Amino acid sequence: MNPHAADGTDLIMPKLIVPAYFHPATHASEWAWLAHHAAQIQMVLLNPASGPGSHPDQAYLDVLDRLRSAGVIVAAYVDTNYGQRPLHEAMIDVGRYRDWYQVSGVFFDRAAPTANRVGHYADLARVSRDMGASVVAFNHGVHPIEAYADHADLLGTFEGPWNAYLELAVPRWVRSREAGRFFHLMHSASTSSFRDAVWLAARRNAGGFYVTDRGGANPWDGLPAGAPDPQALWTVMGVDRDDPRRV
């Protein structure tokens, strides 16, 4: 039996937003898995060197072509240092990603959540779109004030360990908007908790999610346990393969 929303309707499984902070040379099968399961992926986050680095990395070109051919949005990881990084520096990163990797989205990480930086992020989004970005995401890691939703296509309103996610409270304004505007990134979860993570993300009005058993300084340095074997990863993600959008 599927979990239900408050109105009695079946909850729909959020799509994956994957922080792919691992290199194709050492994780080739995991990049192949992403392309093979494009229908369940909303966006893949590209982060070669905590940003684009100083030169293009040829190893990414083929895997990114496969993702784009499969219809997956690839987004450039750009650090904003909670609004302290100057706009022109961030835009240099965006330009490099666009020139070197032909990304269609931008993922602004470490986004400020407070009212005093809304204008800065509005500028980041506007200039990114002027440069050709079709999707702009702000990853706050917490719930920001509602004004940020006027400037980004996607808001990351949780990033952290599973035990903290269990206590997450969702503001009323989030529940009043479409689930497709929000995503949650969870790490340090046991694989037995993965299905609960899917269910909780759906109940908390998040149309995008990611959960992994990995932890440490970079919990996004590979796919979760069970990868890259597709059947194993479907199992730990709690996906119904006959109807993969159902929780």
Spatial separation of the C-alpha atoms in residues 179 and 175, rounded to whole Å: 8
In a domain, 131, yes or no: yes
What pairs with residue 17 in β-bridges?
43
Residue with tokens 């392309």: 35
191 assigned to some structural domain: yes
C-alpha distances in angstroms, 210 versus 90, 126, 234?
25, 27, 13
Judge whether 9 lies within some domain.
no
Report yes or no on 213 lying in a domain. yes
AA identity, residue 79: D
In a domain, 1, yes or no: no
Q: Helices marked H in the chain — which ranges?
A: 28-36, 59-69, 87-101, 118-130, 162-165, 172-175, 194-203, 230-237
Q: What letter represents residue 142's amino acid?
A: V
pLDDT band at 190 (very low <50, low <70, confident <90, very high): very high
Q: Is 247 helix (H, G, I), strand (E, B) or coil?
A: coil
The helix or strand, by DSSP H or E, that contains position 71, with its residue range, turns out to be none
d(CA 242, CA 163): 30
Strands 154-161 and 73-79: unpaired
pLDDT, one tens digit per residue, over 82-136 is: 999 999 999 999 999 999 999 999 999 999 999 999 999 999 999 999 999 999 9
* CA-to-CA separations, 128 to 12, 100, 119, 215, in angstroms, rounded: 31, 16, 14, 31
Residue 217 has pLDDT above 50, yes or no: yes
CATH number of the domain at 123, please: 3.20.20.80
Note the pLDDT of residue 225. Answer: 80
- Asked whether residue 247 is domain-assigned, the answer is no
Whether the predicted pLDDT of 233 surpasses 80: no
Nearest Cα residue to 82 out of 47, 57, 56, 117: 117
Chain segment 155-179, per-residue pLDDT in tens: 999 999 999 999 999 999 999 999 9
Please measure the distance between the N-terminal and C-terminal CA atoms of the chain and give it in whole angstroms: 9
Whether the model clears a pTM of 0.85, i.e. scores above it, the answer is: yes
pLDDT at 7 over 70: no
**Cβ proximity of 20 and 46 under 8 Å:** yes
Assess if residue 238 is contained within a domain: no
Question: Which structural domain range is residue 53 located in?
Answer: 15-230
pLDDT-derived band at 9, boundaries 50, 70, 90: low
Tally of structural domains, the chain:
1
